[in-house]
Copies of this chain bind each other. A is one copy, B any other.
């Protein structure tokens, strides 16, 4: 139960990307995913339905781990989630974020990478030698990855965004994906995307 809760949490509170409008008229996208006949796969290649997210039919885009960095976040929900997070984007998404182009143009994809956050005793010790009380937190293990894929026509009923949540390469279930768009409503002013491009230090 905790795991399920955490997974929904992971998605719902993505606060790293994503968009949507309401859980309605999803049949078309869902149908496309089921048939595996997407004429223009939004991400990944040669996907079949088992590799695509329910409702949206989004597959894992190849090479996303190497996309450019948008920003970093931390999520803490005592007893449920303790994560370090990074949001990255493909070139279309990065260009839009830098130039402030809203809504995002078609083809933009944002990925949210989530890991557990753990205290590094070794790193903390090094720092604490000079600064008592210092705590350095690092990435523990991978939790999940989420995607927002912009296609204003295909995903017209969900703000132009298709969503996907993968754990160990497998998409979450339909119920999980039904929660995506409503959760992103509060970010409507930023085209349903929570994350903002971090200033260059």
Residues of A bordering B, CB below 8 Å: 8-9, 12-13, 15, 65-66, 68-69, 71-78, 80-81, 84-86, 88, 94, 113-115, 117, 120, 122-123, 125-127, 130-131, 133-139, 141-145, 166-167, 183, 186, 194, 196, 198-201
Contacts and interface: CB of A to CB of B under 8 A. Distances in A.
Given A88-B69, A186-B122, A75 B127 contact: yes
Nearest to A64: B200
Nearest to A114: B201
Given A131-B9, A201-B113, A15 B77 contact: no
A69 B71 contact: no
A201 B73 contact: no
Contact of A74 (B71, B84, B194): B84
A77 B134 contact: yes
A76 B135 contact: yes
Contact of A68 (B66, B143, B183, B199): B66
A13 B136 contact: yes
B142 A201 contact: yes
Given A12-B127, A15-B120, A183-B126, A139 B77 contact: no
Contacts of A113: 69, 198, 200-201
Contact of A13 (B73, B114, B134, B145): B134
